[in-house]
Chain A
Amino acid sequence: MAGLRRRTLLTAAAASPVVLRHALGETPIKIGMPVALTGPAGEIGTQMRHGAEFWAKETNAAGGILGRPIELIVQDTTGDPATCVRKAQDVVERDGCKLLFGMTLSSEALAVVPKLAEWNAIFMSSDNGDGRLTGSSFVPNFFRANISGPMETRVISLWLREGKLGKFFALGMDYAWGHNSIGVFQDEVKRAGKTFVGDVYSPIGTKDFSTYITKIRQSGAEGCFLVLQGDDNAAFLSQARDYRLQDKVQLITSIVDLNSIHAVGDAAIGLAGSTRYVATIDNPKNNAFVAAWQREYNALPDVFEGEQYQACKMLQAGIEEAKSIDADKLRPALETAKIDSIKGPVAMRACDHQAVQGGYIVKVVKKDGAKFPVPEIVTTFPGDQVTPACRQMTFDS
């Protein structure tokens, strides 16, 4: 009698939609995305959000992962590390996310990673540049699918070695980032056996760059390394064009992105530098991605949109291999994950959870019919030359 009743109950329960969905494994895979949507990093964070949303929509349309739909839970961190930790805690504890994207700034990521073990959550980074995340601050639940800051600089130095430019000058914004980046660049120039003729730093918010342009011109340099961002970058490029600086000096920057190009238009033509992702990468995967992206957003995918998409694909490959989102099962699967990405083959490395991938040097050119100039790939360096040794931030040769 009792047995019979239990069976009836079970049958009735199984017929109810909620349990049915469970039985088919259709509970959504929730991914928390605390990301800077406002504040100085808001533009980058918004790109990351676009990239993740595009992937979620595409994947859900194709039946989800393991038959389960993806649900993104996006929170604005404003780019503040303390807010970021709080929002990450919210999505983990309140919304029950065991998977994380986002943390736009490295300072945010560095604040969050010590908590990952306690939360039993995996964080797949798509944009954090700080070398320490896969070095001295490494934690087992952190994975970096993107090119890191040291890898970016490495690409530029490899390019300098084979290039024909011999004399370099540098202009940077007058704070830590400008001074650090130019310090690294200066070492690389010397290591490549070339000449570094001088550097100058402009205060944040400089509007008139005429004096700096005069200095660059007078230095006799053939190439000028720029560490500028935002308004300062736009003002410098516009004015450099006014003075025809680009006719004499090759302008080089650490990161070329569409957003900066759109701010200055034709003044960006001729600018060269490294990039983490560019829509003009020519392979079937990327061409399909760019075409689908254009249908969705009526624009080319920018650097952090492409990088986020790659990070999503990396996480997806791990989940499909592990057949689970439980951190202890997912971790080993991600450590050996290899994907055929929009950037070509990308492989996660078990020793420090850095994805090994190639780096690009691009030059901004004008294409007929396009409203804005576009970055075109000049040269590509393979992953084994670009990625540092395990848990290292520098390169021996």
Chain B
Amino acid sequence: MGVTAYGRVDFDFTVVTDNWRFLAEGVGVTLLLSLASGAASLVAGLVLALLRLRGPRWLRPAIVFYIDSMRAIPVLVVLVWTFFALPMVAGVTMSPFMAGLIGLTAHLAAYAAEIVRAGIESVRPGQTRAALALGMSHAQILRRIVLPQALVRTLPAFGSLLSVTIKDTAIASVIAVPELMRRSETVAGQSFQPIEVYTFAMLVYFVLLYPVTRGVDRFYRRVAHLGRS
């Protein structure tokens, strides 16, 4: 890379093409981590929200505390603690990817739980009362009346959360998860061409993320009517 004068640079993107397989594997790990933690946090969030709203009363403060704590602590701190400190406390060893998965899921589940809770609470209580009057059990009401409507309404928020998930996988680079960010750092460090490598990484992340938000918008517009009441 030649820096010829203030503000003028010769770009040499062969560093990207030479390392494309290494970087592409990083994209794979990014996607895997995003989807895995996204799915896991979705399930965990659903469970947490249901436990909070319909579960035993004594459990509620604990769940609220957990959710509010994850709102207060940065993702970086959660990931670093999970990778370095948790093994000391729990006596387990884990790979960076596993630590990243656990940390991200724990963090995102709190947000997912809030999204599900908002969705469930947005369904009019009259629906529940009508279903009870018809003799349905609470479990049936949840499963057949409330959750279908609630979950459709949460789609935009979950789209946003998926976008956040993909962005947060980049933070997992600090605990050496071999995803795109980390691999970009490696290539940039070895080649001394950080501008080209990081610009390429920016391009990849943008191409990954932009369709997610747009796609969710479009999909939601088609199914939004299912959530109205």
Q: Are A and B associated in one complex?
A: no
> B-side interface residues toward A, CB under 8 Å?
none
> A-side interface residues toward B, CB under 8 Å?
none
